[in-house]
Every structure is written in C-alpha cells, then in structure tokens.
Amino acid sequence: MKIIFGVNSFGMGHAMRSAEIIKELSKDNEIEIITGGKSADYLSKVGKVKRVNYLSFVIKDGNIKYFQTFLLNLLKLPLMFFNFLSLFSRCLAKRPDIMITDFEPIVSYTGLLLRIPVISFDNQHIVTDTKVKKIGNGLSVFLYKLTVYLMVPFPKKKIIVTFFNPKITANNSILVSPVVREIIREQEVKNGDYLLIYLRLEGDSILKSLEKMKIKCFIYGKTNFKSTKYLIVKNFDELQFAKDMAKSKGVICNAGMSTLSEAIYLKKPILCVPLKGQVEQELNAFYLEEKGFGLSTEKIDSKTIKKFIENLNFYRKNLEKENLSKKDNIKKIIKELNL
C-alpha cells in the first residue's frame, strides 16, 4: 500500500510519536513523509522525507500571539502553495492509497481535493470532537477550533491521542492511548535526586528560584543560564534525555501531549506550564491535575515549586494506578489506519 504521511513541523512532539507509527507501517507499506524543519531531520532516520514549508506559532512570554502568527504564516503561504502543487501533481501521477496527517495541512488538502481517504492522527481534535472541560475564553476556543478545522478539513477518520477519556461527540472519531517512543519504553525507571526541566524558558527567573532553593535540576531548553552546582544545563540528546527523565524525581515542562505522555508512562510527577491561548495544552494541564498526576500553573515561582516538591509522593501514588500506552497500542493504531 502506498501511503503519504504528513507530520506537523512545529515542535518535535508530532515527529517523535509519528516516527513510531511510520516505523511499523514501513514494514508492509511504501511510505513518503511530508514535513519540514527539525521534524524532517528527525524523520529522515525512519523513512523517505519530502521537505515542505510549514505553519508555525509566534510565542512570546509563554503566550501565543495570534496576530503576529497570522502575519508570519501569511508570508509563508506562497511557498506552501508551491509545496501543495508539487504534492498534488505527484499524487495525480501516482495516486496513493491513503493520506495520513498528524496535523499537517498540505497532505490534508491534497487528499481532500483528490478524494483520497484522509486519516487524521493527532491530539488536537480532542477540542473539536469530544465533550471536554470549558477552558479559556470564548474567543481563544473559537480560534483554536477554527484552526483545527482548517488544518484538517473533512478527514474520513480521526484517531485522537489522549491520556484522559472524554465522551466522543463525532461518529468518525476514536480515542487511543498516547504513543510512547521505544527509547522511553526501554529505560530503567528510578527516582533520582533531581528534577528534569524541559520547557520554553522566557528569561531565567525560574532557574534563579530553583538555584536559591538548592534544588538539583537537569535543564533541557534554550537558555543563557550557565551550569552551576545545582543546575546542570544540557544540550539535547535523545538517548540522554530519555535516561535523565527515567531517573528523575519529577518533570517540569509545558503541556504538550508527547512530553506529558512520556512522563506519565515513566510514572514521573509533572509540574506543567501550558502555553496561554493554546487550548489543547490548557486542557492537558487541567486533566493532568484533575487525575492527580501533578500540578498545573500559569507561572512557576518558589511557592509553586515548594508545593510540587511537597506532594511528589501523592502524585506518584496516582501515577502508579495509570496503565498508559499498552504494548498493543501501536498495533491498534495501525489497524485503524489501514482502511
């Protein structure tokens, strides 16, 4: 079977989870991957990649700036349209059997216009296709839902990745447990003496608070902060990151589905900071706290860190009850992908 697999290029979460599915699909199918940026570099290790331009968010001080995001992506549209025409013509010449999109619009629209079955595989449709807690203001929810509909218009099936299980409101949607990378699943889990930090650092105020509290941390993320006795700044390495997460006593991160899922899988308490205005992250953070897996906060300060540290055992007890990403999870997703 010939499959076109589109992967959103913003961040690395989409690429990391899609890589696990692509590796399994490639055993019996011909796969072409459509993505860009760092995702293209990462996915080139698992299959044939066609690089494209991609939509992205403008983020400042932990907030999505919608107007600046609109202007940035408006400038990218001509190049994206060229990428679309290129894929469209290739699909006309050699029609694929199905198109799979992890929130990638070029693949979505090509499949729609050529009437090739499109299957959505993402976590963003949790906002549009399930009954979830009302988060944020009405405008941000409307804009987010509109974005989801425009990114993936009229897919035949929607496979929604989630660690919580709200009621489905769409007939063509199903919920599946998150895909956890093999490199994470292979790790030996221990509770070490440090926190792992993996988030968008806006300034060094968080790190200065941790330094004053003498809390040992391994830090992955862009920062000008230099390593000290308690704070060790590391360059990202996939294997070392997996080892450090597996042996940490807790994780501080944003509320993206992939990082949260991996931390939950490893039974690591989480202090998360959802990006403001990104409804899907705000939902993840709400349900993470509701399930007792950790703490959600708009801004990290010494009081929040102290509260998180004091409740680590409580979070661990709740995490021990969670059976996330069963062994047959990827096989179930593959079965749903093959129409």
Please state the pTM of the whole predicted model: 0.90
> Smallest Cα–Cα separation from 3: which of 99, 113, 108, 105?
99
Longest dimension (CA), the chain: 63
pLDDT band at 201 (very low <50, low <70, confident <90, very high): low
> Smallest Cα–Cα separation from 132: which of 157, 168, 81?
168
Which pLDDT tens digit goes with each residue over 144-197? 899 899 999 999 999 999 999 999 999 999 999 999 999 999 999 999 999 999
pLDDT of residue 300: 86
Cα-based torsion angle of the residue sequence 254, 258, 264, 268 in order, rounded to the nearest 10 degrees = -50
Question: How far apart, in whole angstroms, are the C-alpha atoms of residue 306 and residue 153?
Answer: 45
pLDDT band at 63 (very low <50, low <70, confident <90, very high): low
pLDDT of residue 53: 84
Predicted confidence (pLDDT) at residue 78 exceeds the cutoff of 60: yes
pLDDT of residue 153: 96
pLDDT band at 143 (very low <50, low <70, confident <90, very high): confident
CA dist 100 → 77, 162, 175, 197 (Å): 22, 18, 16, 32
Question: How far apart, in whole angstroms, are the C-alpha atoms of residue 216 and residue 193?
Answer: 7
pLDDT of residue 138: 81
Domains 2-179+327-337 and 182-320 alike in fold? yes
Average pLDDT of the chain, as a whole number = 90
Task: Tell me which DSSP letter residue 293 carries.
Answer: S
What residue ranges do the domains of the chain occupy? 2-179+327-337, 182-320
DSSP for 176-233 reads: EPPP--HHHHTSPP---S-EEEES---SSHHHHHHHHTT--EEEES---PPP-SSEEE
pLDDT of residue 70: 74
Predicted confidence (pLDDT) at residue 233 exceeds the cutoff of 80: yes
CB atoms within 10 A of CB 25: 23
Rounded to the nearest 5 degrees, what angle is found at the Cα of 272, between the Cα atoms of 271 and 277?
160
Which is more confidently placed, 260 or 73? 260
Domain boundaries 182-320, corresponding CATH code: 3.40.50.2000
pLDDT of residue 261: 95
Specify the length of the chain in residues.
Answer: 339
Helix or strand (DSSP H, E) at 107: helix 105-114
pLDDT band at 58 (very low <50, low <70, confident <90, very high): low
Right CATH for 2-179+327-337 from 3.40.50.970, 3.40.50.1860, 3.40.30.10, 3.40.50.2000 = 3.40.50.2000
Which pLDDT tens digit goes with each residue over 93-119? 999 999 999 999 999 999 999 999 999
Within 8 A by CB and 6+ apart from 18, the residues are 5, 7, 43, 102, 121
Question: How far apart, in whole angstroms, are the C-alpha atoms of residue 201 and residue 159?
Answer: 32
Strand 63-64 with 59-60, pairing = antiparallel
Predicted confidence (pLDDT) at residue 270 exceeds the cutoff of 80: yes
pLDDT of residue 60: 67
Which is more confidently placed, 277 or 91? 91
